[in-house]
Amino acid sequence: MAAELAAAWLAFSAPVAAARAARRPMVALESTIIAHGMPYPENVRTAREVEAVIRELGAEPATIAAIGSRIRIGLSDDELELLGRSGKAAKVSRRDLPAVLSSGGLGATTVAGTMICAALAGIEVFVTGGLGGVHRGAPESFDISADLQELARTSVAVVCAGAKSILDIGLTLEYLETHGVPVLSCEQDNFAAFYTRDSGFRADYRLDDAAAQARFIRTKWDLGLAGGVVLSTPVPEVAAMPREEIDAMTAQALAECQAQGITGKAVTPFLLARIKALTGGRSLATNIALVKHNAEVGARLAVALGGDCGAS
């Protein structure tokens, strides 16, 4: 009954509905990166390019957002434009879904929000840019992203370029370990750090092959071990930024954030915007490159997992 009630809130685009009916592999995509993570028009152009990458590799992209009191699984060009241009979309995590849906507001789903919606839609693979996590100074502020707790409870594989480099990556990985979330790495031994390839921290397991990744994930869920799996893959080397440069700029942006009293959901967009300004826009190019690469890895994983997970 609960599943039937939840399904009533879902609205599938025609391409996604066709993929579900044909039992084709699907890849969920978040919408916060469109509404809050990049400026217009780069945000909408990147969203379309990422969807094209996934289609070329044999899977169907499903960008997710809350529009008109429904969870939209797959967005039209007009809906992508709405999210990219409006500047008014709420950031939607677990706590925010009821408010946005019941009020009919416009909502861009975060990692946590997208995981929930993907699971409701029967989509097992989700591609994002970088994970949220434990913020620097969290022992005093208790600022920990809801993304991490969602990974502990919702069975969706999340493909990312590691965690955002503005975070305390060591504590983020400790949190995931405590909650039993496996962290896989693809293409290198170490966990990635968004703008930079290497966080300096080892992932739990390295699995470069999509078939091996799929076997690991399927085994976890077949055993009844609920919860997500993180698959980290580094930004392509040609687009990566030097770790020392990003660390220095992150420290400056964090100091400015604290001086201005910025807290909560506003922190990450502020830091990303400041780093973009401090790098003269180079960080945006890196962000776009890593999202596209993540889409390639995620599409291959979805195909390897098989397309038998979305149809009712």
**Catalytic residue list contains 164:** yes
Contact status, residue 84 vs residue 43, Cβ threshold 8 Å? yes
Count the helix, strand and coil residues of the chain and give each as a percent rounded to the nearest 5.
50, 15, 30
**What is d(CA 57, CA 128) in angstroms, rounded to the nearest whole number?**
17
- Kindly tell me the sign of the dihedral angle through the C-alpha atoms of 251, 253, 256, 261: negative
Which of 30, 60, 124, 296 is the catalytic position?
A: 30
How far from 250 is each of 74, 108, 136, 166, 268, CA to CA, in Å?
34, 25, 11, 6, 11
**What is d(CA 216, CA 4) in angstroms, rounded to the nearest whole number?**
30
Which of 91, 164, 220, 276 is the catalytic position?
A: 164
Name every residue whose Cβ is closer than 8 Å to that of residue 98 and which is 6 or more positions away in sequence: none
**What is d(CA 18, CA 164) in angstroms, rounded to the nearest whole number?**
34
Strand partners, 12: 73
Pick from 43, 299, 38, 35: nearest CA to 159: 299
Pick from 272, 286, 187: nearest CA to 234: 187
Query: Which alpha helices (DSSP H) does 42-183 contain, by range?
Result: 42-56, 77-86, 97-103, 111-121, 138-141, 146-153, 169-178
Residues tagged active-site:
30, 164
